[in-house]
Structure 1
């Protein structure tokens, strides 16, 4: 009888374990040049379940063969995120082309110095982590990886980095970064400047093909970055494209537009729209991300990697209003 009871409770426990849904803590990237939060952004950030705000401090580019910071942050006096800041720096891939060893050391020192300067200047409460965002390639991998090691040595911080889809699929060529944690960027599945009927921000089928073997990736701690941003792709008479940030399908509801499809419209009258002058005959294709798309990605990844947090790109009232971020 005792054995039967144990068997019964064991069966119940097993059923509960199998049906228990994996939940994911979530947070946000902040990618604006000026640190300032409106009421919607404050409320959304306060409701997030990670204690961090991943904040872009500046970009780094190589201009006229010189390393230069671009778009360094400024801060509004009212900025009080209530979260620890994770300093995040975007570095262009060309920064590491033909870089010398002494330049790698100089670059790491310069970046850490500027990070520390901004932290002190704006009295920011930061975590022990610095995140580097770079679309490195097979040609720059060795020098980029040396830079990551040097930055860790100089700063004494935990250095993490972003991981793009092609860097997973082509890991034999692009290599494995010398970090203990990476942030998988589940967006930019194609170029928005190509003529395509696919969603360039996120096409789930393309993403799945790139990540089919992510469970074999050597770095086990993988966080997941998901897109919540949107934009409009404007195409002119010469098939040239440009992007207008933060457009939605509702923006296509204009008497001067003719709806071609659910997410595409043709301009019927020359004029200024969304801060841009658009001519008659131009088309606007809106790309945005649905909850179902994100759910599909999360469920796919749950079968590949486990216990991951979600960081949404990005915290902006245009993108977070009336959104459900819990998975």
Structure 2
């Protein structure tokens, strides 16, 4: 009996100590491709051999398609990771677009990716990722574009998938790709008056993804947030964002702490490169490992064998993080 009890305890201990691990890497979303020592070190430990790198955005300016923020590269940039070119396309780019426009857009995006890949001697893989917050009104043309880009480039075309596009899939449609990247952040707008964390509210995320296991595209990778910011509110309840702030930044003699993550400015002055007036408030939004762990455990019951891509690779965000979930 004692042997049996010991065996049960042992098996339970082994079972409870097991933790599903997910290979991981990062998005790189800066305009200049450069890595400092911290970023190089963190990236070298990533278990996926890819760095998902934003090459440029596409917007429509005065009725014309325009590449915005085209990437540059520091001459000292080096990595063993293969680069996955990633392009963000604004939803308004796709409004009132013709079939001729779609072909033109796909050709020029592919050409610009090839140009930058060659110019900077980048080692890319066989994938191009498109990031777009498409809607019910633009889905048909966006899906045509994805097919056209695949035909022109000869590459595997993948795309991002936002929470509302999962919840409202009957309206927004299913993109014609074999793999999507589920964006597990931006659960609400940071420019609204709310006590919720706009980067990631786990309860909101779970409600949007309650039926993610029914999503017809079976290969789903998971994008998780590690970024932070401060939301500044003025006397007129207008908001603006200051990137990469943390709760430690509220430890200032010119601030009055209102709560753990909110403070009031007591003295006019320049703070974090911005001029803030007395009476302005600063709300910090950042993501804990516990929140990320909660999301991963939820998704493990819905989808299986997924990789994790953290947004984003920046020394401001990667220190003291547990990436091995």
TM-score grouping bracket, smaller chain normalisation: over 0.9
Deviation at 1:21, TM superposition (A): 2.8
2:40 is paired with a residue of what secondary structure?
Answer: helix
Corresponding residue number in structure 1 for 2:35: 37
2:181 counterpart SS class: strand
Q: How far apart in 2 are the matches of 1:214 and 1:16? A: 30
1:172: which partner in 2? 170
Paired residue for 1:113? Answer: 111
Question: Residue 5 of structure 2 corresponds to which residue in structure 1?
Answer: none
Deviation string 1:93-127 (CA, Å, 9 cap, x unpaired) is 00100000000000000000000000000000001
Q: CA deviation at 1:321?
A: 1.0
SS of 1:59's equivalent?
A: strand
- Counterpart mapping for 1:119-268 below 5 A: 119-268=117-266
Unaligned runs of 5+ in 1: 1-11
CA positional deviation for 1:189: 0.0
Identify if the C-alpha distance between structure 1 residues 268 and 18 changes in structure 2 by more than 3 Å, giving closer, same or farther: closer
Match of 2:74 in 1: 76
* TM-score normalised over the length of structure 2: 0.95
Q: Tell me by how many angstroms 1:18 deviates.
A: 9.0
User: For residue 23 of structure 2, what is the aligned residue in structure 1?
Assistant: 25
1:184: how far off? 0.1
Q: How many corresponding residue pairs?
A: 317
Q: Which runs of 5+ in 2 are unaligned?
A: 1-9
SS in 1 for 2:158: strand
Could you tell me how far apart the structure 1 residues matched to 2:13 and 2:266 are?
59
Q: Closer, same or farther in 2 for the Cα pair 1:17/1:137, shift >3 Å? A: same
Identify which of 60, 70, 77 aligns with 2:58: 60
Q: What is residue 3 of structure 2 aligned with on the other side?
A: none
Deviations 1:59-107 (A, max 9, x none): 0000100000000000001100210000000000001000000000000
Query: Counterpart of 1:4?
Result: none
What stretches of structure 1 move > 6 A for 4+ residues in a row?
12-19
> In 2, distance between residues paired with 1:75 and 1:282?
38
